[in-house]
Amino acid sequence: MIGSIPSIGPLRDPGRLYKTEYILGYIDDPLLRETVEGILTRVEHANRFAKAVVLGNNGQFGWAIYHE
């Protein structure tokens, strides 16, 4: 449906340019790659921890949660 609207194409093009520029910078800059990979690793560890906590207690948290 969006592809049939002729005025939406130019609005998507700047986003593609920014994404392409970021990807090329990511490929070229080792410090940027290291930073992004470090953040992704931390997020993955946090997700694994949360999954282990939830699955380890039959899906129940082991402490009181107060609702306001």
Q: Which residues contact 54 (CB under 8 A, 6 or more apart)?
A: 60, 61
12-56 pLDDT tens trace? 777 788 888 999 999 999 999 999 999 999 999 888 888 777 765
In this prediction, residue 2 carries a pLDDT of 55
In this prediction, residue 25 carries a pLDDT of 93
* Predicted TM-score (pTM) above 0.85: no
